[in-house]
Structure 1
């Protein structure tokens, strides 16, 4: 048990609301019925033969592009000198020229169909997980105008409609592939109450065809697209353009690989550095009366996953910050995916990296909004035992067994997943919203992030936590936290139920 000292802290957090506010992960996401049906209908209309072979070929293409992108800076100039023809053939096959520079695999109709069958549910689940956390961290944020860069077949757009079904008014999609555009339009053909949706081939086409008043978007998202652009210069140019089109929140999502993390880390550092430089220039050129206004309008801070706006403590450590979302495989994924000779599981784990920026200054801590554990006095297990009555003794069978760390953040579910056995259009939108409104993890720092899977051994839980070291969120550190039942049974109870990606109130 924990006793709360200040009355203001007691109104905000109790041990139960701490657990609710810290929860950000989701054990197993079920792709909505509407999307599953749209995918099945789209694949039936395509009538593509040998789909399983095409899905396998697409997966191999992703892996080869990933390797080519990593080796580009060291191998391109050498190949141009030694074998210009080889380099030219390779670039023709794997790269297409656009206003963004060289970008990845050129999607024809067969690659697009394979992508919808195998990758779209996983990309949707990762986007849903990220946007759901943005909603939890920013409970008052309801975007009306949205830009989806690198929209592909519309995975992020489907997630947006699930997260903010009532506030969306218009969605601008930027996707250079005509095949992807056609597939996205086909998938939403039967949906009702859609916002205004417009598609463009490039950011330049977007800015030329809309008025200046429409260029400010409440939310801009770029998911699984920056990794297909091998040039760091081109990536920075694109992200700066996206930030200029952002009025409030910018979200970047990449695969959960070292390469994906490097991209997210580079873009994170660049935007924070750029906004700090702009703020310094404006403040230096302004008088004292306007400094507060300039500071409020300028700047950027991290909504998630970082607990601070300082340099990433994982840079140059050999570790990388990423998360995982388990999803129930759809019938198309089970039909076309292979599992290297073993029975195909009913679920898969999509690993991803992300960062969400917001314009302005990070909310500052004041006494009315303390850090989560400010003013909380925890009793040790010995003190709790001294207070209890003999008739209140209960056996905790959970702590009699040791649980080892896993490669994935979820326990194996013995239930055989089959997402299409019982399909229903019933949508319980209010249940999750009521649960999330029970507690809110404040953005004014104090909440750390569990980066890797917690290790539970007996009555001890070890966690790797990235947290802020200053109350203004300007610096952070990566630390290993050990929680024992004897010293702090209340936090130990929370730690045992924490998952990879959850927040930690330290």
Structure 2
């Protein structure tokens, strides 16, 4: 008997015990997605394609900025030697990533009133008005985030270009890829970029729809940024032919309400606005100027996600109907619904974010592959029935022996932790889940799409 339990048999026993250990969990969590028992094959969506290319796959391979853009950026840094550029880039990157939403004046007043009441109840504090005001201001400075508006002059614009041009290009490219993949017949002719900065949106849009786009409107209040973006398009010089034709630069949004664009983009720009009132006015203006898609992108942080959810709610719940374009709006991506975001309303709120790999512009300090973590919301004009309502995978997929863990945002507005196995859910669904990635859509029929009797008849495990 001793020889029967050699290394080979011990390895087999270990694998068998691991299987036993995960099976009960698999059955328990699988019950959370009662009704998710098969792929959505109503239109024979796979056809002759392999599972790894199912229509919910939206991953974009590691992107690389166009060679012309990389060369122009490197040339501009050589021409304009900025001392300590690497350190400045790191400082600005950290600052932008850690940025919070600015505190509103009403909230400051409320906090000040609370602190004043607290100090008045403190017996050892002298109650002179001047000292009380000083104590309140001192406490506010220590406990309140100090939001500061950045003024992009020529020097800071160069630092921003070196820090954010390639990462911004990667994030916006992923957002455009979502539209191109799901609506391949969409061929926009006009695009407006609010807060255009160094022009990463223009380059990404040209890369995606260069054959059809004939007009790019870049809007940024910083004249230095507009000048830098134009130089990048001209190969790093002030003269010459633009790499992307049909690009126009403005410091203010077009005034006429009749002017609309097929695609309107705001990438990392809502976080640059100092108040909720200004953000509200800006989002409403951008939506009025949207003919088909409004693409909003921010950092993949709680603050960035919060800004996007406010903008999303503003468009979906907006009572203002433009007489020039009364078509309603719906969420094209990433949410498969128009309900409150389950990530935001959870007991421990999380940012709904995604990740895109990219090759950075090869500055001397910047040569390894990078990941851009970002949040996005794509709003569209029309009817929600025009879009797929498959669940969105909101976290990295965990692949384990004979089962797969997927965290899904479903069309009923709830998050589900699905453990999918071939035995319980079928070979097609299991293989589709196994080849899917964070950010993909899982082509399944969710419980809300089943008749009540079907869901009730589904076994628990």
Contact conserved, 1:137 with 1:303, CA < 8 A, in 2?
Answer: no
Query: How many residues end up aligned between the 2 structures?
Result: 377
In the TM superposition, what is the alpha-carbon distance from 1:355 to its structure 2 partner?
Answer: 0.8
SS where residue 22 of structure 1 aligns? coil
Contact conserved, 2:60 with 2:356, CA < 8 A, in 1?
Answer: yes
CA 306–182 in structure 1, closer or farther in 2 if over 3 Å, else same: same
SS where residue 383 of structure 2 aligns? coil
1:34 aligns with 2:68: yes
In the TM superposition, what is the alpha-carbon distance from 1:262 to its structure 2 partner?
Answer: 0.7
Counterpart-to-counterpart distance in 2, 1:86 and 1:52? 35
The match for 1:492 is 430
Counterpart-to-counterpart distance in 2, 1:236 and 1:322? 22
1:502 aligns with 2:440: yes
SS where residue 69 of structure 1 aligns? coil
SS where residue 21 of structure 1 aligns? coil
The match for 2:6 is none
SS where residue 335 of structure 2 aligns? coil
Q: What TM-score comes out, normalization by structure 1 length? A: 0.67
Moved more, 68-77 or 349-358: 68-77
Contact conserved, 1:15 with 1:490, CA < 8 A, in 2?
Answer: no
**315, 335, 355: which one aligns with 1:324:** 355
Contact conserved, 2:217 with 2:249, CA < 8 A, in 1?
Answer: yes
The match for 2:379 is 357
Cα deviations across residues 64-119 of structure 1 (Å, max 9, x unaligned)?
Answer: 6x14736987557768954879999xxxx964xxxxxxxx3111222211111121
Contact conserved, 2:100 with 2:303, CA < 8 A, in 1?
Answer: no
The match for 2:165 is 120
The match for 2:252 is 202
The RMSD of aligned alpha carbons is 3.3
Cα deviations across residues 196-223 of structure 1 (Å, max 9, x unaligned)?
Answer: 22211122xx32xxx665x111110000
SS where residue 197 of structure 2 aligns? coil
Cα deviations across residues 257-316 of structure 1 (Å, max 9, x unaligned)?
Answer: 0111111111111101116x749xx9xxxxxxxxxxx9x952111111111222222222
The match for 2:201 is 156
In the TM superposition, what is the alpha-carbon distance from 1:19 to its structure 2 partner?
Answer: 3.5
Counterpart-to-counterpart distance in 1, 2:105 and 2:405? 39
Counterpart-to-counterpart distance in 1, 2:401 and 2:328? 45
In the TM superposition, what is the alpha-carbon distance from 1:494 to its structure 2 partner?
Answer: 2.0
Counterpart-to-counterpart distance in 1, 2:427 and 2:45? 22
SS where residue 217 of structure 2 aligns? strand
The match for 1:138 is 183
Counterparts of residues 148-187 of structure 1 (less than 5 Å): 148-187=193-232
Counterpart-to-counterpart distance in 2, 1:257 and 1:70? 17
CA 320–72 in structure 1, closer or farther in 2 if over 3 Å, else same: farther
Counterparts of residues 49-128 of structure 1 (less than 5 Å): 49-62=83-96, 66-67=99-100, 69=102, 74-75=107-108, 82=134, 95=148, 104-128=149-173
Contact conserved, 2:51 with 2:428, CA < 8 A, in 1?
Answer: no
CA 86–121 in structure 1, closer or farther in 2 if over 3 Å, else same: farther
CA 497–63 in structure 1, closer or farther in 2 if over 3 Å, else same: closer
**273, 285, 292: which one aligns with 1:229:** 273
The match for 1:479 is 416
**383, 387, 401: which one aligns with 1:458:** 401
The match for 2:23 is none
1:21 aligns with 2:55: yes
In the TM superposition, what is the alpha-carbon distance from 1:489 to its structure 2 partner?
Answer: 2.8
CA 78–188 in structure 1, closer or farther in 2 if over 3 Å, else same: same
Contact conserved, 1:450 with 1:504, CA < 8 A, in 2?
Answer: yes
Contact conserved, 2:234 with 2:243, CA < 8 A, in 1?
Answer: no
Find the structure with the greater CA-based Rg.
2
CA 306–85 in structure 1, closer or farther in 2 if over 3 Å, else same: same
CA 272–212 in structure 1, closer or farther in 2 if over 3 Å, else same: closer
CA 271–172 in structure 1, closer or farther in 2 if over 3 Å, else same: same
Counterpart-to-counterpart distance in 2, 1:73 and 1:32? 46
CA 36–4 in structure 1, closer or farther in 2 if over 3 Å, else same: closer
Counterpart-to-counterpart distance in 1, 2:48 and 2:394? 24
Contact conserved, 1:308 with 1:468, CA < 8 A, in 2?
Answer: yes
SS where residue 431 of structure 2 aligns? helix
Counterpart-to-counterpart distance in 2, 1:79 and 1:328? 47
Contact conserved, 1:147 with 1:171, CA < 8 A, in 2?
Answer: yes
Counterpart-to-counterpart distance in 2, 1:5 and 1:251? 28
The match for 1:396 is none
Cα deviations across residues 149-202 of structure 1 (Å, max 9, x unaligned)?
Answer: 000010111100000011111111110111111110110014656332221112
Contact conserved, 1:54 with 1:110, CA < 8 A, in 2?
Answer: no
Structure 2 unmatched ranges of 5 or more: 1-36, 114-132, 236-240, 445-461
